[in-house]
Amino acid sequence: MNVLVDPRTLLEFNFGDYHPFKTYRLGLTYDLIDLYGLVSREGITVIEPRAATEEEALAFHNEGYLEVLRLADSGMWVPNLFSHGLGSGDNPVFPGVYEWGMLVAGASIDCANAVAAGDASIAFNMAGGLHHAMPACASGFCHINDVALAIHALLAHGKRVVYLDIDAHHGDGVQHAFYKTDRVLTISVHQDGHTIFPGTGFIGEMGQDAGRGYAMNIPLHPGARDDVYERVFSELVFPAVDRYKPDIVVTQLGADAIIGDLVASLGMSLALFERFVTRVRDLEIPWLALGGGGYAVENVVRAWTLAWARMNDVELPDEIPAQWQTEAARYGLALGSLRGSQADEPSTHRVLDTANHTIDTIKQDVLPLINP
Ligand SMILES: [Zn+2]
């Protein structure tokens, strides 16, 4: 059985008209998935988000921060808001922000528990993947780190976890959570921190103490295309998973590495995103799949719809159901076809040379440190 979180109750939350994080992308994606018949299908169970408890959130966040977030949300003026990363343009205190964070987290934890208990082979919370939040700090549009909380739930089941993060941004909050343990191998493929938020995720960040060798960072230069990603996946990411032999795979499937994003500058194609998802599926390891970033809404809708189809071994037609087009038009969105037409261009020589050097270095210095 596969589990899908219905994100529609989350659409009431709004980061603001000028904020790039659009919660309506979740509704558009879910509705397209539904119209393709991938909600009400045998073998699929749909669950509603429920709020994480404070006790659950304390597995990663500190009590003072949760209190500040809750008070700020209730409309109270909290003088130390800014020291917790709150109230900035990135991390606004919008109405219901505490509930938003806790609902997303509760959904990811429920998915984790379903996978760990063997009730689900794959569970997908497209609203999750909020990988930047820190124990006492909101960061990068993320107030509560649902990923870290879900992985803590998996660890409580005694599981060994690989975390694969293909979002354009470094998965810094999740790396921080598990930097000193070998029970979680975190792998992040992202745009180089010299060129984009959060400014971390360099090769030398490879874990500490018992966790040394269990954080792998693969920074890519802006403009990296499928040729680079193919090498990264074939020579680093999947070999690392093979070496580690996890009980559970957790993916953060941010769609902002796909070409045309409004925030990031990487050049992954949609076809490659789909191939990555298929490769994870083919591992046949219980899988917790989470969403993440994605600021070109059409990329998000396409990527996560195709991902859920692949998770269920369904090959979708390219034609978009007419009913969805009508709904999307309200957001000024139109899709000619599900996959669109992206030219498969090679990376420039400079980008390719740098990537080759990065890949060879990680292969030599980081990959051998991973033991089953
Ligand atoms: Zn991102």
Is the pLDDT confidence value at 342 over 80? no
pLDDT of residue 77: 87
**132 an active-site residue?**
yes
- Quote the ligand 1 centre to 43 CA distance (angstroms): 31
Per the CB < 8 A criterion, the answer to whether 200 and 215 are in contact is no
Q: What is the mean pLDDT of residues 102-118?
A: 98
DSSP string, 81-133: TGGGT-SSSSS---TTHHHHHHHHHHHHHHHHHHHHTTS-SEEEETT---TT-
- CB-based burial of residue 200 (10 Å sphere; 0-12 exposed, 13-18 middle, 19+ buried)? middle
Least confident range from 65-79, 124-138, 221-235, 247-261: namely 65-79
In whole angstroms, what is the distance from residue 300 CA to residue 291 CA?
9
Convert the pLDDT of each residue in 282-306 to its tens digit: 999 999 999 999 999 999 999 999 9
Longest dimension (CA), the chain: 55
- Quote the ligand 1 centre to 77 CA distance (angstroms): 30
Convert the pLDDT of each residue in 149-206 to its tens digit: 999 999 999 999 999 999 999 999 999 999 999 999 999 999 999 999 999 999 999 9
In the 3-class helix/strand/coil scheme, how is 34-93 assigned residue by residue? HHCCCCCCCCEEEECCCCCCHHHHCCCCCHHHHHHHHHHHCCCCCCCCHHHCCCCCCCCC
pTM for this structure? 0.98
The one catalytic residue among 61, 84, 132, 176: 132
Q: What is the share, in percent, of the chain residues with pLDDT greater than 90? A: 96
- Quote the ligand 1 centre to 253 CA distance (angstroms): 9
Q: What is the gyration radius of the CA atoms in the chain, in angstroms?
A: 19
- Quote the ligand 1 centre to 292 CA distance (angstroms): 6
Q: Please, which pLDDT band fits residue 341 given cuts at 50, 70 and 90?
A: confident
Find residue 333's DSSP bridge partners.
none
Q: Choose among 87, 92, 89, 83: nearest CA to 62.
A: 83
In whole angstroms, what is the distance from residue 182 CA to residue 73 CA?
36
Q: Choose among 218, 78, 214: nearest CA to 151.
A: 214
- Quote the ligand 1 centre to 87 CA distance (angstroms): 20
Is the pLDDT confidence value at 41 over 90? yes
- Quote the ligand 1 centre to 241 CA distance (angstroms): 22
pLDDT of residue 24: 97
